[in-house]
Amino acid sequence: MRPRGTITSRSPGSYRIRYSLGRDPVSGKRKFGTATVRGTRREAERELVRLLRTVDTGEHVDPTRLTVGEWLEAWLRALEISPKAKERYGEVVRCYLIPALGQLQLSKLVPVQIQEAYSGLRRKDGGALSPHTRRYIHVILKSALGRAVEQQLLARNPAEMQRMPRVERKERVTLTVDQSVRLLKSISHMHIYWPVLLALTTGMRRGEILALRWRNVDLAKGNLAGCAESRANKRCNQVQGLQDGKEQSNNAARVCG
């Protein structure tokens, strides 16, 4: 059987991979892909095996033709994070990054293109983005391009060269005990009463509250335990808050969402 790929040494620590992509359905001619691996020959062999596997499974993408937009979508699909976080990442990718950078070739992306894209980012109403939003966009792009470096689609991460504005921490405005009591009285007849009560007394977020199950509740001891989200595990202590008359510190204060 004819070998499906070859490895050629280009220079110390650099190898060129050439591998078969099958035959062109129109011309019938054999097609080949190429890639460069920086490292040992064993690493080049592993990369060749990985590339051939993607060809066999139909997941192969030619690195020389891959656009930033295509990579961002592929990176997003492969992310193993919570559904809510993935939704937020998707909004940033599709609302900001793909419109600004999506058509550019990934392998040729340079820092100046990223900076120009950042300079043109605006809110839907045309206003300037807040420093916090700009930093959040940058963190997501940097992470996606970092993964491309790991996959050897890029030699280096062009987003690492960017300087983002500092985000000033603002003191959070939270409800006092009296305000919390008045709020609870005003919604005591509504279906949101219990979620709001949990948010006020434990600091749990919306997703953490919605993830609660009866198995997490110990009515005899007045405890919440074993919540589905790890952040809630740190906060699901005895629900005393308002009864104790204690207000949460700035660092701990959170109300729904």
Token reading at 13? 């620590």
* CATH domain 68-161 topology: DNA polymerase; domain 1 (1.10.150)
How far, CA to CA in Å, does 217 sit from each of 56, 206, 207, 222? 49, 17, 16, 8
Q: Residue ranges per domain, the chain?
A: 5-57, 68-161, 177-244
Calculate Rg over the CA atoms of the chain: 26
Question: Quick check: 96 and 121 in contact, CB under 8 A?
Answer: yes
Q: Three-state DSSP class for 74?
A: helix
Q: Give this prediction's pTM.
A: 0.55
How far, CA to CA in Å, does 15 sit from each of 2, 5, 41, 45, 81? 21, 13, 7, 10, 34
Tens-binned pLDDT, residue by residue, of the chain (257 aa): 456 889 999 888 889 899 988 887 778 888 888 888 888 999 999 988 988 887 887 666 677 778 999 999 989 988 888 888 999 999 999 999 999 999 999 989 999 999 999 989 998 888 888 888 999 999 999 999 998 888 778 888 999 987 776 656 677 788 899 999 999 999 999 999 999 998 888 888 888 888 888 888 888 887 776 444 444 344 444 333 434 444 444 444 433 33
Q: How far apart are CA 20 and CA 37, in angstroms?
A: 17
